[in-house]
Amino acid sequence: MNNGFIKVACATPKIKVGDCEYNAKEICKLIDEVYDNGAQFVVFPELCITGYTCSDLFWQQHMLKNAKKKLVAIAKHCEDKEIVAIVGLPLVYNGKLYNVAAVVYDGEILGIVPKSYIPNYSEFYEARHFVSGKGVEGYVSFEVTKDEWSLEENCKEGFDYKIYMTENGKVDFKHNQDDFDEDDWEDDEEDDEDWDDDYDDEIPFGTNILFDCVNIENFKFAIEICEDLWVPNPPSTNYAMAGATVIANLSASDEVTGKDNYRKNLVAGQSARTISAYLYADAGEGESSTDLVFAAHNMIAENGTILAEAKRFTNETVYAEIDLEKLAAERQRMNTFTAVSDDDYEICEIDLELEEFELSREIDNTPFVPKDEEKRNKRCEEILTIQTMGLKKRLEHTNCKNAVIGISGGLDSTLALIVTVRAFDALNIDRSNIIAVTMPGFGTTDRTYNNAVELTKALGATLIEVNIKKAVKQHFSDIGHDENVKDLTYENSQARERTQILMDMASKYRGFVVGTGDLSELALGWATYNGDHMSMYGVNNSIPKTLIKYLIKYFADTTSDSNLKEILYDILDTPVSPELLPPDENGNIAQITEDVVGPYELHDFFLYNMMRLSFEPKKIFYIANIAFKNKYDKKTIYKWLRNYYWRFFSQQFKRSCLPDGPKVGSVSLSPRGDWRMPSDAVSKLWLAQMDEIEKTL
């Protein structure tokens, strides 16, 4: 199995209304095409064997019987193919006509599901012919009488099975002549029991059927038909609660102006509501008849996202790879997604062996950052507002009129200062009450120092400079550390000195310290404990490094201050660094964070897929290689993924005592909210799987 992915399709055959033989051949052609393209699950439109617009021809027994025969032919066509196909047809059951979907696999008809809701308004008059299958349960047999199906007529070229008559006037299906014994012609009922009859068994019929692919974890599907989706409580809701992760909808939805957007919203919305993959197969060219036009608006959605959508009026087959593990993880995470027992359902098991295929689905390499500029700008404004309102509330609650913030000229402190300015503006407090403290140390460069100074001035905050070199050297002397040894003590002493200054400044000005640390640093533990790790309110706590850049860029792009814009652009171009080690001989930053811990774009990708989707290391490694295939090789991704797991587990103790801060997205490491992990949990299981991955490199 491809790490939880399965390739599926929605296909619309070009049909002729009422011509079951032609339609069945077109369906079989598409089954072959879909299978050749690597998909193993395909959904066809509503009533596709006959056509949806047959009208009163649905009362014609001859067409109904032929539809039934062609379903058998389609099933036989799928024999020895690892593909599940779902087709629509009219079917008589207990004297009533139903609009049904039939599931075929490996030459067998596994189950038949009737339509629950029969529309009878506007252009729809289905109730003239069909009855509702809601609540109907039973079994059907695909034996047909001699009178219904003559041997001569149906043993034609193109069918890979033979038909043999029993003594009671019924027919049986045999794969070949070798399976047939002349004794079967005798009028002996006992002989009938020994026949190899594929369709002699009763086939489940009803809306209480779930189909379980036992060889594929988390792959359980169910069926609804067209109007079933448009009602207040679609059957798929209950199917999903009973365990179905994939919903197939066989539809014949005619086109009127604007209906496509509504239909698309329905499909996406129901897939989100049920946390499922939703496959919508729509009638198209060839179906259009009399007053109605159909556009084959095929769609595949996954938990609210449209993965594939056909161009209307083209009968286009659409493909997508469904992430079953992702769906399962989402359901597990949401305890309000109530699961119910499947005891009331008929479970039809399918022994589908998943074949390997190349994943074509796009894997977002920046899951925290929308690709679309309009959506990204909207999100940036929303995040800045959430941060602002969180800080505003804390200032109001503490009755603080002053705030203290360490300003370094880097990304994190820049964003924190912007948010603080917005909060003070919202409270109508003068920006001069913001105490921005720049604290040059051994690693401070002219570039970052000047940007810190100029940014503070441009935003109207009060700038205070405290050079920490003398104090840190005294500290080295006090603890007996050689200042020429540039180790962790050398670095952390500077970070803690800066934090002490900020805390004491907060006392002096009767304010509190606004923290600058971000989500990516917290995940990696890239912070000095009780140093930059600590504050009185951390406005960036749930914002990853890859997103911080866009938040600052958005603010720069939307400001009318050209001087401020220029400063912000230069900050964006500055390498990420804690500046705790001396600059190089040219005065440039020598300590590049990403050279030490790895690229933040990789770590943010790892973080999202581990935290938000609960993926295993092998799954994250697999999709990371697809997402970053043009930028990083497998060994590089492996190196930093292993580093990520080691750091994530070893640094939990820092996250266990984080300051308050606003949650802005779906991933947070707050110990009071989203993430409650023992500080002493070990990474052995995760690193063991990394060891297995290493063997494949």
Catalytic sites, residue numbers = 46, 115, 226
Listed residue (263, 24, 224) closest to 132, CA to CA: 224
Pair 17, 53: CB distance under 8 Å: yes
Q: Maximum distance among all alpha carbons in the chain? A: 110
Quote the CA–CA distance of 318 and 302 in Å, as a whole number: 14
Give the span between the Cα atoms of 161 and 690, in whole angstroms. Answer: 51
Residue pair 670/541 in contact by the 8 Å Cβ criterion: yes
Calculate the CA dihedral of residues 529, 531, 532, 533 and round it to 10 degrees: 30
Show Cβ contacts of residue 78 under 8 Å, excluding neighbours closer than 6 positions: 31, 85, 104, 105, 106, 107
In DSSP terms, 322 is beta-bridged to 6
Of 282, 346, 354, nearest to 111 (Cα)? 346
Say how far apart CA 164 and CA 172 lie, in whole Å. 5
CA 555 to chain centroid, in Å, comes to 30
Of 544, 526, 654, the residue nearest 608 (C-alpha): 544
> What are 87's strand-pairing partners?
102
Query: Of 347, 357, 105, 137, nearest to 242 (Cα)?
Result: 347
Q: How far is the C-alpha of 387 from the C-alpha of 643, rounded, in Å?
A: 30
Residue 80: Cβ within 10 Å count: 7
Q: Are strands 462-465 and 512-515 parallel, antiparallel or unpaired?
A: unpaired
Alpha-carbon radius of gyration of the chain: 33
Q: Is the dihedral of CA 187, 189, 194, 196 positive or negative?
A: positive
From 430, 390, 657, select the one nearest 539 (Cα to Cα): 390
Q: Name the strands in the sheet holding 434-438, side by side, starting at the edge strand that comes first in the sequence.
A: 462-465, 434-438, 403-406, 512-515, 537-538
Tally Cβ neighbours within 10 Å of residue 409: 25
* 422-439 residues labelled b (16+ CB within 10 A) or e (exposed): bbbeeeebeeebbbbbbb
Q: Are the C-beta atoms of 543 and 383 separated by less than 8 Å?
A: yes
Calculate helix-pair angle for 446-459, 411-426, nearest 10 degrees.
10
